[in-house]
């Protein structure tokens, strides 16, 4: 699922008007609000590249090959239960590489693609 | 923006203040709402006090619960008691003036404190060249102030509402899991981080008063110096290292990630000044564990805030956007978890 390209373009065009024409005229006490609106429009427009989930679910399907009929939500619930029970303690690196980081990268690509990971 | 008080409320407030301050008469010369505080309402007041020990003109802040209160934080009266205890212990805080428990005055309990001039907004502070130039000294100052807060150890008879947990860190982990369960959506990365915390709990083994929200954004600075620690509503009894982890976590640096102490200064002067002032030796690896805890706590709070919006209880763009911070926190969780794994801690 993704946002059609023409709708993403509509959002970005509106955002450019907001940032270039409207924001400079906004009183100081509303600047934070204007910046938030521009940020929200940018996030929504990035949905044209697809919504997060595909890579994470692919990793989950490889982790649980026998659960072919289970949906993404059920797979996540199973994973969470097993993490909490300590059954995956020994698989840290594998789990991070194949499920957890793919989930985070997809979500960052939508919410804040400029974020620099690493401590 | 509507007037913060009705004419009747203003008259009742003035009458109550005259009695509380031992004055002949008190007049509220000006009142306006201050920004910030989704849970509390903060009002800037100019008071004219006639007679009594506080005679004169004063700039104060009145704090009361916002009209749509979410019962997640301490009551205003408890917050006042914490502020008062910190003030008496020599922690820089706005001077507490008086508290009113009677809802007949302003509809809800409230308190007054001195208005401290300065800058607390993180986005501004991390760009301030005066702050940048004082970075190491400022970080050390923050370490010394935290040591002073942590000098308040139980039993604290003035703060009887503070719950004592035999194992505050286990309680914290359980609390975060409880929130995730109530929110209902499975969160594999946050669960992974919580499990990592649970598998090896370092901790100092001590229990003191902790501020529990000691970070850039809640620290009022003037000319690069700390003038007041604000927002005591989350203070509790816990492991003092919780405050160190909260201050140092990557998520509270307002983009100035290279200055590890809240985007204001370097890590090591903060920790060594804390050690010198508190007499505690701080295990540097243990601090990383507490930074992971801090990241998880903020992630859960962000999810709770986003849910206030998505549930329709409190429609707000700011709350809605908070959901989009969570992926950054998830990345930090995985980075911290890998760091702890690599160190075998």
Question: What pLDDT, in 10s, does the model give residues B216-273?
Answer: 999 999 999 999 999 998 999 999 999 999 999 999 999 999 999 999 999 999 999 9
Average pLDDT rounded to a whole number, residues B59-64:
94
Q: Using a CB-CB distance cutoff of 8 angstroms, which residues of chain B are in contact with residue A96?
A: 192, 334, 337-338
- Is the overall model pTM greater than 0.90, yes or no? yes
pLDDT band per the 50, 70, 90 thresholds, residue B345: very low
The two three-digit tokens of residue B179, written as one number? 């929130």
More confident residue, B71 or B112: B112
Q: In what order do the strands lie in the sheet with B96-100?
A: B25-33, B40-50, B56-65, B110-114, B96-100
Looking up tokens 């401590």, which residue turns up?
A: A119
Q: A68 CA to chain B: closest CA distance, Å? A: 19
Question: Is the pLDDT score of B37 beyond 70?
Answer: no
Q: Where are the alpha helices (DSSP H) in A18-71?
A: 31-45, 54-63
The reply to whether B325 touches chain A by the CB within 8 Å rule is yes
pLDDT band per the 50, 70, 90 thresholds, residue B149: very high
DSSP B70-82: -TTS--HHHHHHH
User: ipTM, 2 decimals?
Assistant: 0.95
Report helix angle B267-278 to B135-149, nearest 10: 40
More confident residue, B65 or B288: B288
- Of the candidates B259, B265, B222, the residue with the CA atom closest to the CA atom of residue B135: B265
Q: What average pLDDT is seen over chain B?
A: 93
* High-pLDDT (> 70) share of chain A, %: 99
Q: What is the pLDDT of residues A19-66, one digit of tens each?
A: 999 999 999 889 989 999 999 999 999 999 888 989 999 999 999 999
Comparing B25-34, B88-97, B135-144, B271-280, which segment has the lowest mean pLDDT? B25-34
Test the B interface: residue of A42, A45, A83 with most B CBs within 10 Å: A83
Within 161-190 of B, beta carbons closer than 8 Å to A belong to 177, 186-189
Looking up tokens 């203040």, which residue turns up?
A: B17
Question: Is the pLDDT score of B71 beyond 70?
Answer: no
CB contact under 8 A, A84 and B194: yes
User: In DSSP terms, which residues pair with B222 in a beta bridge?
Assistant: B225
Average pLDDT rounded to a whole number, residues B266-295:
97
Helix, strand, or coil here: B301? helix
pLDDT at B3 (0 to 100): 78
Q: What is the pLDDT of residues B180-207, one digit of tens each?
A: 999 999 999 999 999 999 998 887 789 9
CB contact under 8 A, A108 and B341: no
CB contact under 8 A, B334 and A103: no
The reply to whether A47 touches chain B by the CB within 8 Å rule is no
Max distance between CA atoms of chain B, in angstroms, equals 67
The two three-digit tokens of residue A78, written as one number? 């199973």
Q: Using a CB-CB distance cutoff of 8 angstroms, which residues of chain A are in contact with residue B342?
A: none
pLDDT band per the 50, 70, 90 thresholds, residue B342: confident
Average pLDDT rounded to a whole number, residues B288-298:
98
Question: Is the pLDDT score of B74 beyond 90?
Answer: no
Q: What average pLDDT is seen over chain A?
A: 94
Of B177, B186, B320, the CB nearest to A76: B186
Of A37, A83, A108, the CB nearest to B191: A83
CB contact under 8 A, B317 and A37: yes
Residue of A nearest to B177 (CA): A84
In whole angstroms, give the CA distance from residue B4 to residue B30: 10
């Amino acid at each position: 699922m993704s946002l059609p390209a023409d709708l993403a373009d509509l959002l970005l065009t509106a955002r450019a008007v907001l940032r270039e024409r409207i924001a400079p005229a906004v009183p100081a006490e509303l600047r934070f609000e204007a910046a938030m609106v521009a940020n929200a429009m940018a996030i929504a427009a990035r949905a044209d590249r697809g919504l997060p989930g595909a890579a994470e679910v692919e990793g989950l399907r490889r982790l649980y090959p026998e659960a072919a009929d289970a949906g993404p939500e059920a797979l996540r619930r199973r994973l969470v239960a097993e993490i909490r029970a300590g059954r995956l303690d020994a698989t840290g690196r594998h789990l991070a590489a194949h499920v957890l980081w793919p989930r985070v990268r997809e979500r960052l690509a939508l919410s804040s693609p400029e974020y620099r990971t690493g401590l | 923006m509507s007037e913060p008080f009705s004419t009747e409320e203003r008259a009742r407030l003035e009458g109550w203040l005259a009695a509380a301050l031992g004055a002949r008469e008190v007049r509220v010369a000006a009142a306006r709402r201050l920004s910030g505080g989704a849970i509390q309402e903060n009002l800037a007041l100019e008071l004219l006090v006639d007679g009594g020990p506080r005679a004169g003109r004063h700039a104060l802040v009145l704090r009361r619960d916002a009209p749509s209160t979410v019962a997640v934080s301490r009551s205003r009266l408890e917050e006042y008691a914490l502020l008062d205890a910190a003030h008496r212990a020599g922690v820089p805080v706005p001077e507490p003036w008086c508290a009113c428990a009677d809802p007949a005055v302003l509809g809800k309990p409230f308190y007054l404190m001195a208005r401290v001039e300065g800058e607390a907004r993180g986005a501004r502070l991390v760009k301030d060249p005066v702050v940048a130039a004082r970075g190491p000294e400022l970080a050390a100052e923050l370490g010394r102030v935290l040591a002073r807060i942590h000098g308040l150890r139980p039993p604290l008879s003035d703060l009887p509402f503070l719950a004592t947990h035999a194992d505050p860190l286990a309680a914290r982990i359980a609390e975060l899991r409880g929130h995730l369960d109530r929110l209902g959506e499975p969160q594999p990365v946050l669960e992974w981080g919580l499990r990592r915390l649970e598998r090896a709990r370092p901790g100092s083994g001590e229990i003191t008063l902790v501020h529990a929200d000691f970070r850039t954004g809640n620290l009022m600075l003037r000319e690069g110096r700390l003038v007041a620690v604000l927002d005591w509503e989350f203070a509790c009894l816990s492991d003092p290292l919780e405050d160190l982890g909260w201050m140092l976590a990557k998520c509270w640096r307002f983009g100035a990630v290279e200055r590890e102490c809240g985007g204001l200064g370097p890590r090591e002067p903060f920790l060594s000044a804390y050690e010198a002032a508190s007499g505690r030796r701080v295990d540097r690896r243990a601090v990383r564990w507490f930074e992971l805890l801090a990241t998880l706590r903020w992630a859960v709070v962000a999810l709770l805030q986003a849910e206030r919006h998505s549930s329709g209880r409190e429609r707000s763009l700011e709350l809605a956007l908070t959901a989009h911070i969570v992926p950054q926190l998830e990345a930090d969780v995985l980075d911290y978890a890998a760091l702890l794994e690599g160190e075998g801690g």
